[in-house]
Amino acid sequence: MESVEAEPAVASALFGHQIELARRYTSNLVTRGEELGLIGPLELPRIWTRHILNSVLVAPLLRPGLVGDVGSGAGLPGLVLAIARPDVEFVLIEPMERRVDWLRDQAAELDLENVTVVRARAEEVRLDRPLGQVTARAVTALSKLIPMTAPLLIHEGEMVFLKGARVADEVTAAARQIKKAHLRDVEIIELGAGVLPEITRVFRATVD
């Protein structure tokens, strides 16, 4: 088994008074994540910096209301953001039963009253009310993600997607989908410079 990354000093500053919940979730993910197929063994030496803290950097971009996380998987970023922002209501959308069970178990164990888990594909999900914002991490390219999530948002709703180093290329390739979804204020935000070894890149846009 790979050695598990020690908690970086900056974690407590990023999570504030929610740090104990973040530690419990991370411990659970380390203990059971590989067995459940949620993370690979090579992720353990960078579990905090590459996954937990990479996700929590997005927390300040969220606003009170209903936020959907598409393809939640292990809970990155959905559960991490729900821990960091108890003032925000989250619906975690995930199609795979095993992952849905994990998400529900963690929400219950961590007593996250601001989390609802829905088993569905994003393009087929039926929500009781539209989302104010939608997040996603490592799901699919923007050209597919934008048409998949735009119908879930309210007017003036916002997409907040964690993306990789080639996000600018994805934006270019998704020009048609951006126009068709009537997105405005399209931007790429870089978070965590000087805080984490890797920059967190976020695609943000508003549905006009």
Identify any residues that bridge with 202 across adjacent strands, giving them in sequence order: 162, 189
Mean pLDDT to the nearest integer, 128-133: 96
CB contact at 8 A, 79 and 106: yes
Give me the pLDDT at residue 187, please.
98
Helix (H) or strand (E) holding 67: strand 66-70
Reported confidence tier of residue 2, pLDDT bands at 50, 70, 90: low
Q: Rounded to whole angstroms, how far apart are CA atoms 48 and 150?
A: 30
- Give pTM, 2 decimals: 0.96
Pick the closest to residue 115 from 100, 130, 125, 126 (CA basis): 100
For residue 1, pLDDT over 60 is answered with: no
- Collapsing DSSP states into helix, strand and coil, what is residue 151? helix
Give me the pLDDT at residue 103, please.
98
Pick the closest to residue 21 from 83, 101, 75, 99 (CA basis): 83
Q: Rounded to whole angstroms, how far apart are CA atoms 36 and 44?
A: 14
Beta strands 183-191 and 200-207 are: antiparallel
CB contact at 8 A, 135 and 112: no
Amino acid occupying residue 93: I
Mean pLDDT to the nearest integer, 44-57: 94
- Collapsing DSSP states into helix, strand and coil, what is residue 48? helix
Reported confidence tier of residue 201, pLDDT bands at 50, 70, 90: very high
Mean pLDDT to the nearest integer, 85-97: 97
Q: Rounded to whole angstroms, how far apart are CA atoms 189 and 155?
A: 22
Low-confidence winner among 14-18, 42-46, 73-77, 166-170 (lowest mean pLDDT): 42-46
Q: What percent of the chain is modeled with pLDDT above 70?
A: 99
- Residue whose structure tokens are 């000087």: 194
Beta strands 115-119 and 131-137 are: unpaired
Mean pLDDT to the nearest integer, 50-79: 97
And the tokens for 142? 């923007």
Give me the pLDDT at residue 138, please.
83
- 43 vs 201 pLDDT, higher one: 201
Q: Rounded to whole angstroms, how far apart are CA atoms 137 and 202?
A: 9
And the tokens for 196? 């984490």
